[in-house]
Structure 1
Amino acid sequence: MAARCRRRQVVCLCVGLWVCVAGAEPLRYSVAEEKKSGWLVANVAKDLQVPAGRLSAGGARLVWKGADRYLELDRRSGDVRVKEKMDREGLCGQREPCLLQLELVLENPLELHRVEVRVEDVNDNSPQFSKNEFVFKIPEQVPVNTRFSLQRAQDPDAGANGIQSYAISSNEHFRLEVQTRAEGGKYPELVLQKALDREAQAQLVLILSAADGGVPQRTGTAQVRVDVLDVNDNLPQFSQAVYRAQLLENSPRGTLVAKVEASDPDEGSNAEITYSYGQVPARVPELFQLHPTSGELSVLGTIDFEDAAMYEIEIEATDGGGLSAHCKVVVEIQDTNDNAPEVTVTSVSSTIAEDSAPGTAVALISVRDRDSGENGRTSCSIEGQVPFALKWSLENYYQVVTQEPLDREKVPEYKVSIAARDWGAPRLSSCAGVGCE
């Protein structure tokens, strides 16, 4: 009888880890942004074909950083409902599709189900230009068919709800054409279709409008003012149409990235060139500094490869007479091994029976590294001499399993530390669990 009682005693496994998220082959659902609290997204009990009671008995929970803010699970019914209205643009910016990736975790026995919720866009934003008025100073002898780039409007909505068309108010001197960049973005250009005559009309005021494709359609407008100047008959010319540079992430402030150079054969103020940004994302002026007279482009903020691997920067050279030319600087960001692996736990059993068979799962962990390539490749191991092993589960998930029979009378408790190392140079590592420094 005493031996049977001892077999019912348990071994305590202490694993001190923190929680993260991932998954594979998910249950897929969708919900439109701005839905009110209580909106039904799905019923996971029905889709998994399990009794709702299994969710309660298994302590079912959704695991995701921020999931408890936006979504909630009713364990009694299996309903997943909106807890707080979601703003797709705030969650994902321009990234499409906008996906919330969660795990549904059940215990006794341990189960992991990935859940993917797509946040659908609604047309809740209007196109907007960076300023209310754009001013062009154009000499009267500029040739017909000369083009003048206009800054494109911004609309955080996605797909058809984003900007679809541009228009200019009716006039005899300019028409509007829309160009498409290599990455798919559209921007408008003014094209001179009738020669300007300062003596006949010294100034033109036009209305530029941008329209999205939502229902109902939303529009934004800006004023375009054209000041007609006396003759300045040469445009600045860059030495190159495209400048290319490579830059290590985390380069210190002041690091020279590239130097652009334009010239103008005119004399006096008409030959004096200043440099400024053309159409660039709002983030570019925060990361790079452009010297207005030397054309030097240098590091201003923190460059992170994990944020962006490449920047395409348009630079404008303007002479003293108001004529402008454009070039592009393509900056390729090179990755460095600046992120250590992250070891996180999704589920853990704090006790286990000493007569449990080898291979019994006691915890589920994941390993993640934000770097790319070899810098993001990881390996994981259990530290020290303990009767546990790591068993690959899916993607970056591992199960902590027993390796051999346990004997509480010999060892009543184990403290487990798990280490992860990447393959970068130098190799970075992290440790999680009891015993880590």
Structure 2
Amino acid sequence: MEDCFRSKQGLCFLLCLCVTDVLCVSIHYSVPEEKKSGSQVANVLKDLKLGIGDLSARRARLVSKISKQYFHLDTDSGALLINDKIDREALCGQSELCLLQTEIVLQNPLEFHTIEVKVEDVNDNAPRFSQNDFQLEIPENVPPNTRFPLETAKDVDLGENSIQNYTLSPNEHFRLGTESKDGRKAVDLILEKPLDREKQPYLELILMALDGGVPQRNGTIKIKINILDNNDNFPQFIQSEYKVRLKENSPWNTLVYKVEARDLDFGSNAQITYSFHRVPETISNLFHLNEMTGEITVMGEIDYEKETSYDMSIKATDGGGLSGHCSVLVEVEDINDNAPEVLLISLTDTIQEDSPLNTVVAIFSITDCDSGDNGKTMCSVQMNLPFALRSTKNNYYQLVIQSPLDRERVPEYNVTITARDQGSPRLTSTRIIHVQISDVNDNTPDFEKLLFEMSLQENNIPGLLIGSVHAVDLDMEKNGKVTYTLLPGSPAASYISINSETGNMYALRSLDYEQIKDFKVTVRATDGGIPPLSSDVVVRVVITDENDNAPFFLYPLQNSTSPCNELLPKMAEAGYLVTKVVAVDRDSG
């Protein structure tokens, strides 16, 4: 991620663009590099217009888009502290502006505050040459004022802390000449007095590079000069500077460029060999130069996110020891070799099913270390979910509720966040967020029947089970726990009782069919939610008859002491109606 940070140093001023109704503020601080861990950069409370304890109360978090956390936020005091010592040169290289960007996210209510900390350079590096000494071979007939390019030192510090001057050890033949070239200071060795190999075949000088920091630092290198016999033509390149483009991740042995130099001499003085001239080890490890053909080929991993260009110096040397120089600037082209990364900032993994629309479930960001279209990203979630993405213009996203939730229908969701870049071919990454839906009391107990009918034989034993009612509540736990009661107000409610847990109904006393044939009671089922929900059902109990009554004569009237007498005419004929006998039984059927 730090390579991603360095590759985008050109984008040093970032706009903080936020979602509507979400506050976003950009705050700027500065800190010298190399300060100890725990040192305070600033106190953010004043700039955020907050008081002591507000950061903790609003669940403030410090979010960095790079993997290494350079800062720490003390939410109690509001102090922004250095978490790890900052090395500006390792972080930003030679970029003049070195910014570390982090964000303070206040979650309740939601606010984004961009913190940009400028890392200031200190003089902690001395000028350095790539080697302890280098060789120069100069023909004795070289005229005065001839210039010989010298190796320049490197100082990773900036401004006054960088290299300001060069000095040369006292001698009678050479002086130094400096000039600015493409923003860099080039150093040449200028011949002032003609050389005479017979008098002095060898010279050794000391070149010193000095920076302008306090305290001043320096670096030295030995210049070893061999004086050669006459070879009066230098190799000359067709161009003094070549610019080529190379795609990152180019395979080994890919031809970068072929340089060519010419020498007007003959024989061994015209035989040219090519070599890198005082290039850093990073270049010599990545590129191979064929000393005979001048072909530059790839021999390492070319990564745009690590380095966007390479400037190499090529030396062409003839058989007589004369040399010419050119520079090759290799500009690396970015390819889409980094997939987007989903960085989860905040997640509410359990949500009530009655949560309102637009409730924020998660906050996350998308980063891609590539540049241009390769680094532009877009984000989506799968279709047919009650969730939607709400994006900002700085690659922050909110996962929000877009349609009502129903735990009884779907109790949980696995939301797949898919991030895609706009490179060719497009690269994709996913992250799954698990969201649990918690229950609310939104379902009324539902009886299995609209009307329950039960039967009870008369002369029953008190406490006898008549039957059972049952209601179902789709809610969970106490919201779905049903209790049963008999509604008062009906005389029949005194005939029976109900078990509040099971819904079993029992006869409270013995009933007589001849007195009551049936009765109705109302049962209420109530859940345990707050507030509780209930429903009612009517239960009809039919009393069945038992043969518990003997027949009884209504006529003729019975007398227990004397029989019943009927008068019969003396002249009655056959078929004459003597009397009628009428009997009844209180039982049925």
TM-score, normalising length from structure 2? 0.66
1:163-242 equivalences in 2 (<5 Å): 163-182=163-182, 184-242=183-241
Paired residues, number: 414
Correspondence 1:152 to 2:152 = yes
For residues 54 and 305 of structure 2, the distance between their equivalents in structure 1, rounded to whole angstroms, comes to 40
For residues 59 and 272 of structure 2, the distance between their equivalents in structure 1, rounded to whole angstroms, comes to 68
Aligned to 1:57: 57
For residues 373 and 252 of structure 2, the distance between their equivalents in structure 1, rounded to whole angstroms, comes to 27
Aligned to 2:376: 377
Partner secondary structure for residue 112 of structure 2: strand
For residues 43 and 67 of structure 1, the distance between their equivalents in structure 2, rounded to whole angstroms, comes to 21
Q: Cα offset for 1:434?
A: 4.4
Partner secondary structure for residue 194 of structure 1: coil
Per-residue deviation, residues 247-294 of structure 1 (Å, max 9, x unmatched)? 222111011111112232333432232211124344211211111222
Aligned to 1:116: 116
Contact 1:105/1:347 (8 A) holds in 2: no
In the alignment, residue 282 of structure 2 is paired with which amino acid? R
Contact 1:241/1:327 (8 A) holds in 2: yes
Contact 1:235/1:323 (8 A) holds in 2: yes
Contact 1:23/1:103 (8 A) holds in 2: no
In the alignment, residue 365 of structure 2 is paired with which amino acid? S
Aligned to 2:437: none
Partner secondary structure for residue 94 of structure 2: coil
Per-residue deviation, residues 108-141 of structure 1 (Å, max 9, x unmatched)? 3333222122222111111111122222111110
For residues 212 and 433 of structure 2, the distance between their equivalents in structure 1, rounded to whole angstroms, comes to 56
Per-residue deviation, residues 196-255 of structure 1 (Å, max 9, x unmatched)? 122232222222111111112111111212221111111012233333433222111011
Q: Cα offset for 1:158?
A: 1.9
CA 396–84 in structure 1, closer or farther in 2 if over 3 Å, else same: closer
Aligned to 2:32: 32
CA 31–91 in structure 1, closer or farther in 2 if over 3 Å, else same: same
1:123-162 equivalences in 2 (<5 Å): 123-162=123-162
Q: Cα offset for 1:170?
A: 2.7
CA 321–87 in structure 1, closer or farther in 2 if over 3 Å, else same: same
Aligned to 2:101: 101
Contact 2:417/2:431 (8 A) holds in 1: yes
Aligned to 2:459: none
Per-residue deviation, residues 7-43 of structure 1 (Å, max 9, x unmatched)? xxxxxxxxxxxxx999835321111122223322111
Q: Percent identity between the aligned chains?
A: 55
For residues 89 and 333 of structure 1, the distance between their equivalents in structure 2, rounded to whole angstroms, comes to 21
Task: Give structure 1 stretches of 5+ with no counterpart.
Answer: 1-19
Task: Give structure 2 stretches of 5+ with no counterpart.
Answer: 6-13, 17-24, 435-589
CA 329–83 in structure 1, closer or farther in 2 if over 3 Å, else same: closer
For residues 423 and 82 of structure 1, the distance between their equivalents in structure 2, rounded to whole angstroms, comes to 36
Correspondence 1:274 to 2:310 = no
Contact 1:140/1:198 (8 A) holds in 2: yes
Higher mean displacement: 123-132 or 261-270: 261-270
Partner secondary structure for residue 416 of structure 1: strand
Q: Cα offset for 1:67?
A: 5.0
CA 83–401 in structure 1, closer or farther in 2 if over 3 Å, else same: same
Correspondence 1:315 to 2:314 = yes
Aligned to 1:9: none
Tell me how large the CA RMSD over aligned residues is.
2.3
For residues 99 and 107 of structure 1, the distance between their equivalents in structure 2, rounded to whole angstroms, comes to 25
Aligned to 1:348: 347
Q: Cα offset for 1:406?
A: 2.6
1:286-435 equivalences in 2 (<5 Å): 286-434=285-433
In the alignment, residue 223 of structure 1 is paired with which amino acid? K
Aligned to 1:3: none
For residues 205 and 82 of structure 1, the distance between their equivalents in structure 2, rounded to whole angstroms, comes to 48
CA 276–261 in structure 1, closer or farther in 2 if over 3 Å, else same: same
Contact 1:137/1:321 (8 A) holds in 2: no
1:19-98 equivalences in 2 (<5 Å): 24=16, 26-64=26-64, 65=66, 68=69, 70-98=70-98
Contact 2:273/2:292 (8 A) holds in 1: yes
Higher mean displacement: 21-30 or 70-79: 21-30
Give the structure, 1 or 2, with the largest relative contact order (CA under 8 Å, sep 6 or more): 1
Partner secondary structure for residue 343 of structure 1: strand
For residues 377 and 75 of structure 1, the distance between their equivalents in structure 2, rounded to whole angstroms, comes to 33
For residues 243 and 29 of structure 2, the distance between their equivalents in structure 1, rounded to whole angstroms, comes to 42
Contact 1:208/1:221 (8 A) holds in 2: yes
In the alignment, residue 425 of structure 2 is paired with which amino acid? P
Per-residue deviation, residues 41-90 of structure 1 (Å, max 9, x unmatched)? 1111222011231211233232224554x432211111112233322223
Partner secondary structure for residue 269 of structure 1: helix
Higher mean displacement: 153-162 or 104-113: 104-113
Contact 2:379/2:418 (8 A) holds in 1: yes
Contact 2:340/2:428 (8 A) holds in 1: yes
CA 331–93 in structure 1, closer or farther in 2 if over 3 Å, else same: closer
For residues 344 and 433 of structure 2, the distance between their equivalents in structure 1, rounded to whole angstroms, comes to 13
In the alignment, residue 90 of structure 2 is paired with which amino acid? G
Contact 2:130/2:280 (8 A) holds in 1: no
In the alignment, residue 372 of structure 1 is paired with which amino acid? S
